[in-house]
Structure 1
Amino acid sequence: MKVLNVCLVLLVTLLFACPVVAQQDAKPMTYEQFKEQKDLQTDKGFYTIYRLNDKYYLEIPAEGMGKEVLITTQVAHGMAAFVSDASGVIRFSEGRNNTLQVVRNRLTDVSADSTDVCMIMALKKSGLVPIDYTFPIVARGEDGKSAIIELTNELNNPGSGLFNVSSYAWLSHPDPSRSWVDGWRMIDKGVVFSVTRGQSDYQSNPQTQEGRDIASRYILEMVIQQLPERRMNLKVSHPAYGFETIGVTEYDSKEYVARKKEYIQKWNLTAAVKEMKKQKRGMVIEPERQICVYIDPVTPDPFVVCIKNAVNQWGKAFEAAGWKNVFRFSSDKEDASLSYRTILFRWGSAYNGIYSSVIENPVTGEILCARVNVMDVAADELLGMYFLQCGLLDGRIRKDLHSLAVRQDVLTAQVAAAFAEVLKMKPNKAGYTVFTPADIRSEKWLNRYGITASITSGVTFNYLAQPGDGVSVKNLFPRVSAYDYDAIRYAYGNSDALPSMRGAFYTPEDKLDPYAQDGFLSNDILNASIQGVESVKKIYPQLNGWINRLPEDQNTWKNVSDFAVRAQSLFQTYLTQMVKLVGGRSVRPIIKGVNETLVTYVPREQQVGALNYLESAIFSEFPEWVRVKELEQSGVFDTEQMMVGLAQALLKHFMNKGVMESLVAGERRLEEKAFTAKELFAYIDRVIFENFDSSKAVSTYKQGIQACFVSDFARFMAENNISFGLSNEANGVYHAYFVELARKVKDLSERHTDVSTRSNYQVMLLRMKREYFEKQ
């Protein structure tokens, strides 16, 4: 019996084991065997496609093995701007046990001296390239060398593989009964599959606790396309120009040292050798293959013009760099796929801005293709700001808040800014603070450069231009300018020169740098902000009259009150720009090939000037000019409380350890030329606390500012655990002032002669205890 049991166990084991071994060692069908299958459909191309009922097969030719292949997946139809994050570059190669291996492109160490074979081999043997997944080879091709694999699961399964879309919830679990493969079409050295996916998702209302199933349906396009073998010439990253980069570790085979180098990401513009020689002689040439800019046919005609005008601005920058006709426009369905050297402009699914997805080769840095989703809704969001900032100069917006011509101008600027992302250019936040106020008000200057040195950091309007300056409407909007031209020339031309305009270097956003912020205009922020405030004051009393002259559907009390509030918000924007000068500093690279930076501090006189203006504008007394009957009559807005809140927001700038560190460091370096922390606290004592005069009554408006400041300051001290004795010098400064402030508040809470003011100090003392002292 024991022998029988052992035999049975062995038999069962063999029965389970044999199929596995057979599967591993199974040889692919021959081409003849594969072709003999009934109902097999064949579509020959670089990648031949086979369909057998509901199964789909792809033939990888021998010349496609080991080569770079572009894989993309996008929502082609449906309310989504989704592009799969699995899109990228892969390689097919034959593996063990009759399998086809798939490897994604990854950065690897390289030899700086490619002639040293020993170094090259050493680098290759120093690591193994990971295999991402494998496909069983179903059959061999007609030549006996190509491999046929089944793609059915890849096309139907969203959770993994070549066309992974699991990161998008509305595609992650399709209903098989509502999902199918629509078909395919051939493209240059590739194929595009079209797949319909539908599913339902339960959504509940958190307030009512009721829910329902939401049905969705999308058509996906999946591209497999072999890339050209011609390599792109790498361009070393330079601190003067902001591009996204790839980092490469290069081993010097002569000195046997490793150096990390950054190369910029860019499109690959190539031409015949003879043409490239012409470019070196200063002639403008055309690329062998243009970049196709596909514009969705459903895009309304007025906005097709916007997209073309925006792209053509960049086309001129490329022409200045030595390349003409870089882009070609198309609305043909044959160009609608996310394939090599294609930029798709899709209309729709862009309600909160312009969205872009860019796919690049992580090894070479070459930008392969991109998609941009755009709608005129993005422009609509800025029309109200334009009405207030440029209404004095542009009568179109005063006649119609939704003026089509204005919307076109706004969207053109927005698309030009978004196109910088397609070029992998980083936002140059200092672009708007290069030109002087006089430049920005000069038609001659504006015709040549526009209002900013760079469009890459978004859209700001020309709020400095005034009636009488003779500035045309076209020069109220930003456009591709000097820095952008220089950056394109560096990346795609034959120039390694520094920016042509002094100060037009790349600068990332820096919260402590007033010259690297969104929305700031000109290199004289103080005077520009004052000009902005004065323009708001000029427009504010005219709002009711302007809106009365608008079309009937726009001539409403709600618009009057809404724009009054927007004007106050604009007032806050300009004051915020001023307060950023206090404790401000700039960090700029020293452009001499050395990895060093230069720190400069905002001059003392500008910081003092900003504080003096803030004192008269908001801190000392309520700005009476903001009172309008439309807000008062609405019963919704408490204008005085709104201004207290504005003052509170501005004063919070001084509760920033970075600001205090900047003031301390500036005093250490500049000595008597610096604006100091001591002067700032003296300003707060005088302007906010009336020098703690025990006999001077304080207005209710000022009392509100005092109470908010004390409460915020105490909370700031507690949250940042600031106490005396910490090594940070700024902490010591804050602690010393806070302790002295608490002493003075306690003193006046007991002996101030005005009852109302004394009561307010008592409230402040309670807040300091609750927010700080009781927490220590």
Structure 2
Amino acid sequence: MKNWIVLLIAVFMVNACFLTVDASERKKKTTKKEETVAKPPVKKLSKYEKLFKGKSHEIAKGGFMTLHKVDGKLYFEMPLAVMGRDMLLASTTTQTSDNSVSTNGYKAKEPMHICFTLADSMVHMRKVNSYVSYDKNNDRLQRVIDQNFVNPIIEGYKVLAYTPDSSAVVFEMTALFTGGDAAVTPMVDEAFPLAFRNSINKSLSAIDGIKAFEDNVSIKSSLSYNVSAKYLNTILYENRPVSIKVTRTLLLLPEDRMRPRISDSRIGIFLTNKQYIANDADQLQRYSLAHRWRLEPKDMEAYKRGELVEPVKPIVFYLDNLFPEEWKQPIRTGVMRWNKAFEKIGFKNVVQVLDFPTNDPNFDPDNLKYSCIRYVPSSTQNAMGPSWVDPMTGEILNASILVYNDIVKMLNYWRFVQTAQIDPRVRNKKLPKDVLEESMAYVLAHEMGHCLGLMHNMAASAAYPVDSLRSASFTQKYGTTPSIMDYARFNYVAQPGDKGVKLTPPDLGIYDEYAIRWLYTPVPDAGTIFDEAKILESWVDEKAGDPLFRYGKQQMSSRYDPSALEEDLGDDPIKAGDYGIKNLKYILKNLNNWIQDDESAEHRQELYNQIVKQYGRYLQNVVYCIGGIYLTEAKDGSVDKRFRSVPREKQKAAMKWVMKQLQDNDWLDNREVCSKFKLNTKASSELNASVAGILTKIYMNVTLSSYLAEKNPYTLREFFDDFYTGAWDAAIRNRKLTHGDKIMQKALLDMMARSVSSIGGNKLGLVSTANISAEVAYAPTIEEICLYGLDESGMIDKYARDLKEVEQREGKAYLVELMKQTSFGYGYGWQNWVRSTAIDESATYYYETATKIASLLQRRVASANAADKPHYEAMLFAVQQMLGRK
């Protein structure tokens, strides 16, 4: 019994011990819980938060996306909703230490057409393949596109974080905006005749600022470069430091895009090439889209009733506040002149010019959303009107007009050498206010035409008879040309005493209004863009055969058509040249009297150089009649012919006229004028050598022209006979040699030496022993490009870019074939040289001509006067060497 009681007491005490321990533990837990509530643990940061926590952080948030600048690095916070959407990335120079390599307000590169896609932990930046179009409602075609025309990846970025709501991803983009990526550089590669090479100093480049808006973001960067420059093949400088601030705009393109308009090659409009894959077509269709602004009536019903209506979105340009005050009004006048053309198709207040806003923090002239007219303080005598488009539709999204400071100097020269014979106002070192304003308004109207989508129409001025340009009634009504998009400057045909003659181009020409009508008239009832194209095509058909509406493309890579040249006037270059030369002689004779306040004679020397250059244009305008071929964009069945050889009598007359000019242009070397200038060679000799060089190549044009002529061609034999007769006129008639005679004879023998040597003779080159291929024979020389001012709107750069784009898209083989094309007049693009070596018989006529020259000189050496005899002996020795007779 006692044992049981003892055991029971022991059990009770053990349980009491456990209860005490349990209560103690529960008390500890309760206290710990209470302490947890009072002091919560440190929250773990998300990847998104870690990117910005404790760092220098600037944020720009807009409707499109968000930008972060963190400790000098740039991060995109891109919504998943815009992945795959089309965007444009454009680079515009904002500040520069050297505006010859990077011009404020200019985009040196075409905007990149890109999109971003998300794949696992990477964001890919892709180049959008916009060349191919198709019916997006067709499943089969969609599969074709998906398999054959994907958007290539050009860069990849690691996803660093998702936003807290997982609606966007964050990735770093610093390298693209501070590096040397050629696609977004603000540096030009060339500004003819200069070529540049640059390398970026990344350690001195940085992100400056960020902004975000409803449909775009803006990033400003400071970049540091080392730049080297060459003038043709001469190094000007190496590794010169250049600092640039650049504004990059990433623009989200709308999903509701403008309806495209298919181009018509008979109207000169900038365009984007396309390839259409049709479901029922036997072959792929190539076509192109015209570049134009999205111009839609606010009230379509009122528009259809014939009322003038405003557009939904006007074309607004902002005017730089850095312009001299006296320039601003003529700039506005020239730009807004185009409203007259828009009113004729039912729109009002389309083109507007506003001053740079001073109280709008969002305004940025370098943002892709703003089109601006910019002042460039440079000695360049130029103005430019480039534009940038949506590659899918051709919609012009942005345009700029760049006006260089020394455009005033250019206008001064133009007005003096072209109109001083009739306009006393321009016979000064500085143009009076009224002349400057009317001249500047013309230049700005021309550049605005480019910004509206119009290309140069170099054939326009050939529609007017030359003598009509001396008529007051005609010129007051029509000006000097049917299109201000021609390079028809001022009225150099008008003679002293021609009263009331208008000296300037028209405000807008007949062709300009016609082009605006075709480009911007709404066609709301057309079902598809192809239906619309048929309607618009009928409008052009109505004007076929009318020279006032003829389009002549600028001849960049070849020169065939003498009616589509720059800087010419009228339908007869010989008659226009005679009038122009008569005026130049009058101006040169009075140069010292008209320009008095010029002690150093520098201004007179520059005016004299312009007189020589103007005379050279008159010569070249006639030279290209020799072997000329008129080219007209035409469709089958129309009255126009795609190509037509210049009539034989015109070619023969041109050859005779040019040869006569080269023998009789020593009036250029006016001693009374030239004695005031610095030491130099005679201008007539330099000019004669240049023109002689063209003549020695133009036989290739004669070959092709005679081959294509329907009847009575100007043959290669006749060309060589006329060349022989003209060049050796002094020897044939036994008259005293002029400098022009000697230059022409040397050039002819040098040209012959290159061919005659190939059939057995020994070559002795008297001017140059360089080989000139058939291809080079067609291309304009550097002298011609400078003479004609071919790069006025960046056309040479555009030509090079077009060829590069074709090469990248189609491959090198296609580019080679393009440059060897053998057809005329089809489609857009430049007229390239046409291979005619298979029909070239020049070697035969070279040999025949060489024997005639040898025979002539053998007779003339004996009877030549003492001064000319050494020259004839040298020429005889050279031709006998060619013929292998010595």
Which category describes the TM-score, using the shorter chain as reference length?
Answer: 0.7 to 0.9
Deviation at 1:189, TM superposition (A): 1.9
Deviation at 1:229, TM superposition (A): 1.7
Return the alpha-carbon distance in structure 2 between the equivalents of residues 727 and 386 of structure 1.
46
Matching residue of 1:12:
none
Return the alpha-carbon distance in structure 2 between the equivalents of residues 203 and 116 of structure 1.
52
Matching residue of 1:345:
373
Contact 2:226 / 2:241 at 8 angstroms: preserved in 1?
yes
Q: How does 1:264-343 map to 2 (within 5 A)?
A: 264-271=290-297, 275-330=299-354, 331-332=356-357, 334-343=362-371
Structure 1 length-normalised TM: 0.82
Of 234-243 and 56-65, the range deviating more from structure 2: 56-65
1:157 aligns with 2:179: yes
SS in 2 for 1:257: coil
Matching residue of 1:364:
393
Contact 1:291 / 1:327 at 8 angstroms: preserved in 2?
yes
Match of 1:451 among 466, 480, 483: 480
Deviation at 1:712, TM superposition (A): 1.4
Return the alpha-carbon distance in structure 1 between the equivalents of residues 222 and 678 of structure 2.
53
Deviation at 1:762, TM superposition (A): 1.3
1:173 aligns with 2:205: no
1:237 aligns with 2:281: no
Return the alpha-carbon distance in structure 2 between the equivalents of residues 680 and 657 of structure 1.
8
Q: 1:285 to 1:93 in 2, by over 3 A?
A: farther
SS in 2 for 1:94: strand
SS in 1 for 2:632: strand
SS in 1 for 2:75: strand
Contact 1:663 / 1:677 at 8 angstroms: preserved in 2?
no
Contact 2:84 / 2:115 at 8 angstroms: preserved in 1?
yes
Q: Letter of the aligned partner of 1:346 in structure 2?
A: R
Return the alpha-carbon distance in structure 1 between the equivalents of residues 240 and 668 of structure 2.
51
Q: Structure 1: any 5+ residue segments left out of the alignment? A: 1-27
Deviation at 1:406, TM superposition (A): 3.4
Q: 1:646 to 1:278 in 2, by over 3 A?
A: same
Q: Letter of the aligned partner of 2:329 in structure 1?
A: V
Return the alpha-carbon distance in structure 2 between the equivalents of residues 458 and 612 of structure 1.
27
Q: How does 1:25-104 map to 2 (within 5 A)?
A: 29=46, 40-46=57-63, 47-78=65-96, 79=99, 80-81=102-103, 83-85=107-109, 87-96=111-120, 98-104=121-127
Return the alpha-carbon distance in structure 2 between the equivalents of residues 210 and 435 of structure 1.
45
Q: Letter of the aligned partner of 2:75 in structure 1?
A: Y
Match of 2:451 among 404, 422, 428: 422
SS in 2 for 1:446: helix
1:629 aligns with 2:664: no
Deviation at 1:219, TM superposition (A): 1.8
Q: How does 1:185-204 map to 2 (within 5 A)?
A: 185-198=211-224
Deviation at 1:566, TM superposition (A): 4.1
RMSD: 3.9
Q: Letter of the aligned partner of 2:577 in structure 1?
A: S
1:508 aligns with 2:553: yes
Return the alpha-carbon distance in structure 1 between the equivalents of residues 227 and 47 of structure 2.
45
Q: Letter of the aligned partner of 1:484 in structure 2?
A: D
1:220 aligns with 2:246: yes
Matching residue of 1:16:
none
Deviation at 1:731, TM superposition (A): 1.6
Q: Letter of the aligned partner of 1:63 in structure 2?
A: A
SS in 2 for 1:583: coil
Matching residue of 2:878:
767
1:183 aligns with 2:209: yes
Of 167-176 and 415-424, the range deviating more from structure 2: 167-176
Deviation at 1:722, TM superposition (A): 8.1
Matching residue of 2:743:
708
Q: Letter of the aligned partner of 2:139 in structure 1?
A: V
Return the alpha-carbon distance in structure 2 between the equivalents of residues 277 and 163 of structure 1.
44
Aligned-pair identity (%) = 19
Q: Structure 2: any 5+ residue segments left out of the alignment? A: 1-44, 190-195, 524-535, 761-836
- Post-superposition Cα deviations, 1:194-230, rounded to whole Å, max 9, x if no partner, equal 222345669999xxx9999854332221212212222
Contact 2:228 / 2:236 at 8 angstroms: preserved in 1?
no
Q: 1:342 to 1:327 in 2, by over 3 A?
A: farther
Contact 2:180 / 2:200 at 8 angstroms: preserved in 1?
yes
SS in 1 for 2:561: coil
Matching residue of 2:526:
none
Q: Letter of the aligned partner of 1:303 in structure 2?
A: W
Deviation at 1:532, TM superposition (A): 0.8
Q: 1:658 to 1:237 in 2, by over 3 A?
A: farther
Deviation at 1:503, TM superposition (A): 4.3
Q: 1:164 to 1:140 in 2, by over 3 A?
A: farther
Contact 1:513 / 1:585 at 8 angstroms: preserved in 2?
yes
Matching residue of 1:669:
710
Deviation at 1:279, TM superposition (A): 3.7
Q: Letter of the aligned partner of 2:320 in structure 1?
A: D
Matching residue of 1:689:
728
1:109 aligns with 2:135: no
Q: How does 1:332-411 map to 2 (within 5 A)?
A: 332=357, 334-348=362-376, 350-352=378-380, 353-411=382-440
Q: Letter of the aligned partner of 1:630 in structure 2?
A: V
Match of 2:593 among 545, 548, 551: 545
Contact 1:350 / 1:373 at 8 angstroms: preserved in 2?
no
Matching residue of 2:152:
130
1:589 aligns with 2:633: yes
Deviation at 1:76, TM superposition (A): 0.7
Matching residue of 1:17:
none
Return the alpha-carbon distance in structure 1 between the equivalents of residues 723 and 57 of structure 2.
84
Q: 1:389 to 1:95 in 2, by over 3 A?
A: same
Return the alpha-carbon distance in structure 1 between the equivalents of residues 214 and 608 of structure 2.
57
Return the alpha-carbon distance in structure 1 between the equivalents of residues 225 and 284 of structure 2.
51
Contact 2:87 / 2:113 at 8 angstroms: preserved in 1?
yes
Q: 1:175 to 1:52 in 2, by over 3 A?
A: closer
Match of 2:845 among 717, 725, 734: 734
Q: 1:157 to 1:392 in 2, by over 3 A?
A: same
Matching residue of 1:23:
none
Matching residue of 1:120:
142
Return the alpha-carbon distance in structure 1 between the equivalents of residues 138 and 230 of structure 2.
64
Of 398-407 and 381-390, the range deviating more from structure 2: 398-407
Deviation at 1:241, TM superposition (A): 0.8
Contact 1:29 / 1:140 at 8 angstroms: preserved in 2?
no
Of 495-504 and 132-141, the range deviating more from structure 2: 495-504
- Post-superposition Cα deviations, 1:151-173, rounded to whole Å, max 9, x if no partner, equal 3333333337x845577779742
Contact 1:71 / 1:87 at 8 angstroms: preserved in 2?
yes
Q: Letter of the aligned partner of 2:68 in structure 1?
A: Y
